[in-house]
Amino acid sequence: MTFHTFTEQNLRQFTERVFLKMGCPEADAQLAADVLLKSDLRGIDSHGVARLSGYVRLWEKERINATPNVRVVHETPTTATVDGDAGLGLVVAPFAMKIAIEKAKIYGSGWVAVKNSNHFGIAGYHALMAVEQDMIGVSMTNASPLVAPTYSNERLLGTNPMCYAFPAGKYPPVVVDMATAAAANGKLEIAQRADLPVPEGWVQDKDGNSSTNPHQLKDGGSLLPLGSDKDHGSHKGYGLSATVDILSAVLSGANYGPWVPPFVAFLEPSANPVGEGLGHFFGAMRIDGFRPAEDFKNHLDNWIERFQSASTIDPDKKVIIPGEPEYAFEQERKVKGIPIIDVVVNDLNELAKKLGITGL
Amino acid sequence: MTFHTFTEQNLRQFTERVFLKMGCPEADAQLAADVLLKSDLRGIDSHGVARLSGYVRLWEKERINATPNVRVVHETPTTATVDGDAGLGLVVAPFAMKIAIEKAKIYGSGWVAVKNSNHFGIAGYHALMAVEQDMIGVSMTNASPLVAPTYSNERLLGTNPMCYAFPAGKYPPVVVDMATAAAANGKLEIAQRADLPVPEGWVQDKDGNSSTNPHQLKDGGSLLPLGSDKDHGSHKGYGLSATVDILSAVLSGANYGPWVPPFVAFLEPSANPVGEGLGHFFGAMRIDGFRPAEDFKNHLDNWIERFQSASTIDPDKKVIIPGEPEYAFEQERKVKGIPIIDVVVNDLNELAKKLGITGL
């Protein structure tokens, strides 16, 4: 595998050019690029510019609307439902999170469900918007069906991530941002590209037999929920994924379960949808709605220090604070640039050629 | 193992007698008994009357206050912090959830963090209070440190359950109520009593070696987070447990991590606490703050039917809807009575003798 390293600025400008070419308004193109770049900066390479041509293909199929009329369709003082008008999730999600934050400023908390949206990038980006305002941020989304619930061999759920983000004092925010499957699809894709086996417990074949072959997923197989099997709590991973699906879609009026439109443009969405697009769910709670923010941050710093200094099994490995590795990546990549694997670079340059814009 | 079957009424009256003897006001004794009975009715035998003598021992040690002044110490329109005044969690938690529900009635949602409390029974009881009002209920608590974070052999977290409950239409509520450890401590206790091995991935010994011996926990070992090991996502179970700990305790001013006071009375709480008692976190969101409740319930019914009819690997096993088995237990036990294992019956009758009340 060969990597090419690009500056943040270079990748950002390229990404903006792509979204502008799709017809996005300038502010939307900048925002969408910011969400994708945040993912690359934080080391979550599967959710950054590597997905750009996927978004473009959905737009070509008219499944993404570059000029959506994103709007609130239902609300109370602290809750709202947003219709994303088939826009980029990268734009719709920050719109919705801003509403949650504005409500929290006035009433202490704000909660927004979103329908008729598309893939929103990394959940952490949106939750961190709340953290910047001294709030706790919550962010989740449903996704293309790839995961089978416990006892089943049918793909009925997405890798449905949930994210909780908390502001600390002298440390980076604590960010729990996780797929509710045993392994994120991005990890499978890496193993597929390298043609390497995956650990038992990530994947089953089409008949529900445990498998270490990452290609099973293309052959009717499915991902397994966090916990992998019943003995190890896969019903909990399934329950968490169900929670994300219900909050994101049953609550908002989006598609849920096997009806969620696939991210890949070569698969058609269900001919009989149960809702509109895919769904997200966001929340913001003011820390000082519970206790003074400084007290919270001091105690979270103490929490972090206690866990960082925990006794470990292998002296070379310390306990990781959720969000710490991503923060470290971000500091490093802002300075040293972002390495992109050559297949992605080639894909992006072909995309540029097709769109008639300057490549990387 | 021998079981004795008691009517709900019989067990309820006995439980009330115990709490009254502790000096609880009558309404509190009834409420605390209701929470414990709900657990026995729903088949979660580890969290019902089996814990009664544990609560009494904490009261004898003056770690539970039978006549607490439970009160709101901080609030905004939709958030609050409650000081449980060292009361029974079984009483403090419904008090806090009621506040969340009242706030949601007015503003759409309500969120309450609790400090200075004790063990609150099953998370599901409290979340279901919101469901009865056509709201989504959220309930979580931290707990005695038994779980080691990924890479560590130190017990720094409780089995920290989280619960999300949703009202359906023609079906029972969907209730995701789960410990964030690979296995709840109750399951370990069953294996310990029967002296049977547990599956690999539940427990490690004091040096962090994987073990199938359930007694390792008494020998410096620890429970493992949901996911069991890094390859299978134990960092996600750890992240969820951390989320529960931060929302329940860092936000409220309770003890967190290894400072959480142990449930067992023979272990002393930390001499240098970082907060007061243990902590909970509750939420309520009005369904009709997002869409008409009937629409939500119709779609949740459709969700349930789709998952119930999913293709399964073993024709004898169907996909289970979260909360379905507990609901079935409740219907059955209300009619046929509640089976209690003989060791628990003996323990309760000895408790009765000690307290000078009528036994079972």
User: What's the rounded Cα separation, in Å, for the pair B221 and B188?
Assistant: 12
- Count CB atoms within 10 A of the CB of residue B345: 18
Quick one: which H or E segment has residue B264?
Answer: none
User: What's the rounded Cα separation, in Å, for the pair B34 and B21?
Assistant: 16
Q: Hey, which bits of chain B come out as E strands?
A: 3-6, 71-75, 79-83, 109-117, 135-141, 162-166, 174-178, 203-204, 210-211, 222-223, 278-286, 338-341
Asked if B97 and B284 touch (Cβ cutoff 8 Å), the reply is yes
Helices (H) and strands (E) in chain A, counts: 10, 12
Q: Are residues B334 and B271 in the same domain?
A: yes
Give me the pLDDT at residue A173, please. Answer: 98
Helices (H), A22-149: 26-41, 52-60, 89-107, 123-131
Give me the pLDDT at residue B186, please. Answer: 82
Query: Looking at the domain assignment, is residue A312 inside a domain?
Result: no
Asked if B245 and A303 touch (Cβ cutoff 8 Å), the reply is yes
The CATH number for A21's domain is: 3.30.1370.60
pLDDT bucket at B10, cuts 50 / 70 / 90: very high
Q: Are residues B109 and B207 in the same domain?
A: no
pLDDT bucket at B187, cuts 50 / 70 / 90: confident
For residue B212, the enclosing domain spans 183-223
Query: Looking at the domain assignment, is residue B305 inside a domain?
Result: no
The predicted complex's ipTM stands at: 0.98
Query: Looking at the domain assignment, is residue B34 inside a domain?
Result: yes
Position B3 pLDDT exceeds 80: yes
Q: Are residues B203 and B219 in the same domain?
A: yes
Q: Are residues B64 and B191 in the same domain?
A: no
Q: Are residues B95 and B147 in the same domain?
A: yes
Q: Determine whether the interchain pair A302/B258 forms a contact, defined as Cβ–Cβ distance below 8 Å.
A: no
Q: Are residues B196 and B251 in the same domain?
A: no
Give me the pLDDT at residue B263, please. Answer: 93
The chain A residue lying nearest B113, using CA atoms, is A290
Give me the pLDDT at residue B185, please. Answer: 84
Q: How far is A178 from chain B (nearest CA, A)?
A: 6
The mean per-residue pLDDT over the stretch B48-73 comes to: 97
Question: In chain B, what residues touch A250 (CB-CB under 8 Å)?
Answer: 166, 296, 299-300, 303
Query: Looking at the domain assignment, is residue A148 inside a domain?
Result: yes
Q: Are residues B9 and B30 in the same domain?
A: yes
The CATH number for B212's domain is: 3.30.60.50
pLDDT, tens digit, for every residue of A212-260? 999 999 899 999 999 999 999 999 999 999 999 999 999 999 999 999 9
Query: Looking at the domain assignment, is residue A42 inside a domain?
Result: yes
Give me the pLDDT at residue B288, please. Answer: 98
pLDDT, tens digit, for every residue of B16-27? 999 999 999 999
Write the residue in B152, B183, B302 that is nearest to A312 by C-beta.
B152
Asked if A15 and A32 touch (Cβ cutoff 8 Å), the reply is yes
Give me the pLDDT at residue A170, please. Answer: 97
pLDDT, tens digit, for every residue of B260-316? 999 999 999 999 999 999 999 999 999 999 999 999 999 999 999 999 999 999 999
Q: Are residues B118 and B165 in the same domain?
A: yes
Name the percent of chain A lying above pLDDT 70: 100
Which amino acid, residue B339?
A: P
Q: Determine whether the interchain pair B182/A233 forms a contact, defined as Cβ–Cβ distance below 8 Å.
A: yes
Q: How far is B109 from chain A (nearest CA, A)?
A: 6
Query: Looking at the domain assignment, is residue A70 inside a domain?
Result: yes
Q: Are residues B68 and B213 in the same domain?
A: no
Position A1 pLDDT exceeds 80: no
Query: Looking at the domain assignment, is residue B279 inside a domain?
Result: yes
Give me the pLDDT at residue A76, please. Answer: 98
Interface of A with B in 242-271 (CB under 8 A): 242-243, 245-247, 250-253, 256-258
pLDDT bucket at B189, cuts 50 / 70 / 90: confident
Look up residue B48 and give its DSSP letter. T
Q: Are residues B209 and B282 in the same domain?
A: no
What phi, psi does A266 have (nearest 5°)?
Answer: -75, -10
Q: Determine whether the interchain pair A319/B250 forms a contact, defined as Cβ–Cβ distance below 8 Å.
A: no
- Residue A229 contacts by C-beta under 8 Å, 6 or more apart in sequence? A150, A201, A210
Give me the pLDDT at residue A299, please. Answer: 98
Radius of gyration of chain B (CA): 20
User: What's the rounded Cα separation, in Å, for the pair B70 and B24?
Assistant: 13
pLDDT, tens digit, for every residue of A259-318? 999 999 999 999 999 999 999 999 999 999 999 999 999 999 999 999 999 999 999 999
Q: Hey, which bits of chain A come out as E strands?
A: 3-6, 71-75, 79-83, 109-117, 135-141, 162-166, 174-178, 203-204, 210-211, 222-223, 278-286, 338-341
pLDDT bucket at B193, cuts 50 / 70 / 90: confident
pLDDT, tens digit, for every residue of A111-162? 999 999 999 999 999 999 999 999 999 999 999 999 999 999 999 999 999 9
- Residue A13 contacts by C-beta under 8 Å, 6 or more apart in sequence? none
Write the residue in A164, A228, A302 that is nearest to B243 by C-beta.
A164
Q: Determine whether the interchain pair B251/A75 forms a contact, defined as Cβ–Cβ distance below 8 Å.
A: no
Domain count, chain B: 2
Name the percent of chain B lying above pLDDT 70: 100
Q: Determine whether the interchain pair B274/A299 forms a contact, defined as Cβ–Cβ distance below 8 Å.
A: yes
Q: Are residues B202 and B253 in the same domain?
A: no
Interface of A with B in 7-36 (CB under 8 A): none
Q: What is the mean pLDDT of chain B?
A: 97
Q: Are residues B212 and B229 in the same domain?
A: no
Give me the pLDDT at residue B144, please. Answer: 95
